[in-house]
Amino acid sequence: MSVSVAQLLPPLYPPLAKQVRVTGNALLTLVVRADGNIESATVVSGHPLLKQAALDSAQHSQFACEACDKEPRSFQMTYSFQLGPAVYCAESSVSPKTDEQQEFYPRVTQSQNHVVIYDRPIGTCDVATTIEKKVFHKVPVPVEVWPGRLTRRSTLTDPS
């Protein structure tokens, strides 16, 4: 007798978890009926920001219970939440990768009782704002400290 995932509802990476860059595993114990529906689902371990997404996915997925009698069967499932590299506004001007190298997010892979969710963290930037770099030059300016005596002092001037 074995339980397997027949149809997985792809989990969503929680937005707050992406924003604060939380990664990790959520381990669930599921009790599956002979018809493949979930009787109960319990989170055994995992980060608080990831638990509910894993639980929602499992509760709305369909399972196959091969050679199961009428008694429900316990089944453990692991959801791994992973983040790829963040993209910031300054990096958007970099030439995009070729089609072979392009990574698409979010994406979900599933192998037996292990589901992996890959997403991209939220990059912080304000696209409405551009940063200008101003260059200032030191220019010696004569300053009269005492009448009849000149000393030099450097000041910053804007070259534009």
β-sheet bridge partners, residue 115: 79, 110
Beta strands in the chain (DSSP E): 2-7, 24-32, 38-46, 62-66, 73-83, 107-111, 114-119, 137-146, 149-157
d(CA 61, CA 88): 35
pLDDT along the chain (160 residues), means of 10: 86 93 96 90 96 95 83 92 80 51 80 92 64 62 58 57
Nearest to 120 by CA among 99, 101, 102, 105: 105
Whether pTM > 0.85 for this model: the answer is no
Domains by residue range for the chain, with CATH: 2-119 (3.30.2420.10)
pLDDT value for 100: 47
